[in-house]
A and B are shown apart, each in its own frame.
Chain A
Amino acid sequence: MGEFWSRILQNYPYVFALALFAIGIYTILTHSNLFKKVIGINIMEGSIYILFIAAGNVRGGVAPILDMTDTTLTYVHPLPQALMLTGIVVSVSVTALSLALIMKLYRFYGTVDAKEIMRIRTEVRANGARIS
C-alpha cells in the first residue's frame, strides 16, 4: 500500500487532472443554469490540458525555444504544448457556439435555466401551440 501512495504522490498532476475532469462533468450534468454548464465544459477541457502538459514535462527542463549558444539545456516536450494550443482553439469555438445558443434560448424562452425551459416547453406542447 505504501508503494501505491508514493506512486500517486509522484504523479500528482494526473490525479489533479482526473479530479478536475470529474468536477467538470459533474458541473455539466447537474447544474441547470446553462452558463454553469458552459463553465463546466471549460473546467473539463482545462483538466485535459493539465494532463497533456504534465505528460510532456521534464523535471528541470526549460521552454522549448532552441538556444543555439547553449547545448547543455534540457527542453520539455514541445508536442503536447502545441497540441493543447489546438485544444484551446477548439474549446474557444465550443464556448462561443454555446454562448450564442444560450442567447438564442434566452430570447425564445426568457430564461437560462434548463428546468424552466423544460417546464415551458411541456406547457406549450400541452396547449398544442408552437413557440415562435
Chain B
Amino acid sequence: MALAFRDNLAVLVVVALLSTAYIMPLLTKIRRFRVAEYFAVAMLGLALSGGIYLAREILLHGTFTYAVGGWPAPWGIELSLDAVSGFFLITIGVVATPIMLYASVDLIKEVGSRSRAAWFLTLFLLLVAALCGLAVTGDLFNIYVMVEVATIASCAIVAARNDATSVEATFKYLMLATIGSGFVLLGIGFLFVLTGNLNMNFIAQELSMSWQKYPTALWVCLSFFMVGFGVKSALFPLHVWLPDAHSTAIAPSSAMLSSLAIKGYIIALLKVFYVAVGAKIITRLPITDILTLLGMVAIIAGALFALAQDELKRRLAFSTISQVGYIFLGIGLGNIHGLTGTFMHILSHATTKALLFLAAGAMIKHTGKSRISEMAGVGAAMPVTVGAFAVGSLSMIGIPLFSGFVSKWQLLLGSLANGNYLAVLVLVGGSLLAAAYLLPVLRMAFFERPLQKPVVANVSYVQLAALLFLVVVIISVGVVPDGVLQLASEAATALLGLEVLP
C-alpha cells in the first residue's frame, strides 16, 4: 500500500532532527562552525513547518496512527497523531528555532571550546528530537526512552558551561531526574502487568473493562507516574533541583529547559493519564484533586520564593515553578476549559519564559551584573532587549492582548465550571504575585537613575531577531488566538474523549 506524505511526516520530523544531531560533529570538522549552526536552525525551522502542516492535516482530517516498521498496534510501536501531538510539535518548533538562532551568535565563547560547542549543538538537537518523539508516540515504553533521552540531553546542556556551580547543579538534577525516571518505569511496569500491553489505546480498552477489579494497584501505579513526572517537571514539593539547574546554565540552555524540556514531561503525563488510563477513570480517582491542590500550592509558593530572589535568573527559575503550577491546576480540573487552558499555558509559558530567559541572558552578558538591584539604567543601554523583557513580563502576568491572558482566562473558566472558587482566587493571586516579582525588574531597568552613565550595549542583530520573533508570537497569539485556541480545545477534546463539536 502506498502511504501519503503526511503519514511519514511525523516519523520524518523526529528522524531528521536525530540525524542532524549526529551530523553536527561531522559538519563542524569539515566546515566553518557558522555553517553547522545555521544548518541546525534551518532543520528546526523545517521541523516547525512540518509540525504546522501536521496540525493542519489533523484538524482537517482527524487523528491517524502510524505503525513503525509496518507492524500493527499490539505488536509494533505505534505513533498516534492527534491534536495533542500537533499542538506540541508547533510549540517545540516555535520556541526551539529562536533559541537556536540566539545561541548561534557566541556559542563557542559561552561554552569554552569549539568541540564542546559542537557537542552542545548535538545535545540540543537530541533534546528537541526527543521532545518531538514524546509528542507523536503512542507507546508507553517509547515514552520512557524519549523521557530518558531528554533527561540526559538536558543534564548535559546544563553542564555545558563547565564551572563548579553548574556541574554541581547538574549532578543534583541528574540524581533526582533518575529517581523520577525510576518511578516512571515502575509505573509503566505496573500498567504492563495489569493490562499486558504497552500501546496506550490498548491499555485504555483493557482498563475500561477491568479497572474495578484492582483499583488499589491502579491508584498506586498512577501515583508512581505522578511522582516520577512531577520530579521531572518540577511540581512544587519536588522542585528542589530546578532553581540551581536553570539559573546556572547558559542562557539558551536555561531557556530551552524552562520552556520546553519541562513541558515534554507534562505532555507525557497527560498522555499517560488521559490517553492510556482514560478520562473516565482518571476523573473518578482522587488523583485529579491532588493535582489541583499541588498546582495551587505551587502557584503561590513558587511566586513567593521568586519574590525573595535578587538574582534575575533565579527569580525567573522560581517563576517557572509557579507557572508549572498553572499547568497542573488545569490538568487537575479535568474539564474542557481546564485542559484547553493547560495547552494554551504550555504554549504561552514556553514562548514567554524563553523570551524572558534569553533577554535576561543578554542583559546579564552585556552589563556583567546578575542581580536585579544592580540593574539600574539597563533599559537606556539596551532598549530593545529590555523592551522584549517587558513584553514577556506583561504576558507572564496575564495582561490582555498578550498570550498569557488567553491561557489564564481559559483556566479561570475551567475553575468556574468546576465551582472551584479557591482556584479562582489562587489564579488571580498568582497573577498579582507575578506582577510583584516581574515589574520591579522593569522599574529598576527603566526608571531608576544609574550610578554611572549607561554605555549603549550593541546586542547582535541575530539575537534581537530571535527575541523579536518570540515577541511577535506572544502578541499575535494574544491578539488573534482563534487558530491556536481551536487546536488547543481540539487537543483537550481528544484527551477527554468527547465528541468533536461540529
Q: Which residues of A are at the interface with B, using a C-beta cutoff of 8 A? A: 21, 24-25, 28-29, 34, 37, 41, 44-45, 48, 51-52, 55, 79-80, 83, 86-87, 90, 93-94, 97-98, 101-102, 104-105, 108-109, 117, 121, 130-132
Contacts and interface: CB of A to CB of B under 8 A. Distances in A.
Given A21-B186, A25-B182, A101-B159, A41 B175 contact: yes
A61 B158 CA distance: 46
Contacts of B179: 25, 28-29, 44
Nearest to A14: B193
A86 B174 contact: no
B7 interface: no
- Size range of the chain B interface in the assembly: 20 to 34
Interface stretch (B49-57, B160-168, B394-402, B423-431): B160-168
A55 B192 contact: yes
A53 to B, nearest CB: 10
Contacts of B181: 90
B305 interface: no
Please classify the interface of chain B as helix (H, G, I), strand (E, B), loop, or mixed, using the class held by over half of its residues. helix
B193 A55 contact: yes
A37 B192 CA distance: 28
A13 to B, nearest CB: 11
B145 A101 contact: no
A48 B186 contact: yes
Given A86-B145, A94-B174, A105 B167 contact: yes
B467 to A, nearest CB: 28
Contacts of B159: 101, 104
A109 B171 CA distance: 14
27 contacts: A21-B186, A28-B179, A41-B178, A44-B179, A45-B182, A51-B189, A51-B193, A52-B189, A83-B198, A86-B141, A90-B181, A94-B152, A94-B178, A98-B178, A101-B167, A101-B170, A101-B174, A104-B159, A105-B167, A108-B163, A108-B164, A117-B168, A121-B165, A130-B163, A131-B163, A131-B164, A132-B163
Nearest to A100: B159
Given A25-B179, A105-B168, 13 more contacts: A28-B178, A41-B178, A51-B189, A55-B193, A87-B185, A94-B148, A94-B174, A101-B170, A101-B171, A101-B174, A105-B164, A117-B168, A132-B163
Contact of B164 (A29, A80, A93, A109): A109
Contacts of A105: 164, 167-168, 171
B400 to A, nearest CB: 42
A87 B182 CA distance: 10
Nearest to A96: B152
A121 B168 contact: yes
A132 B152 CA distance: 25
A84 B141 CA distance: 10
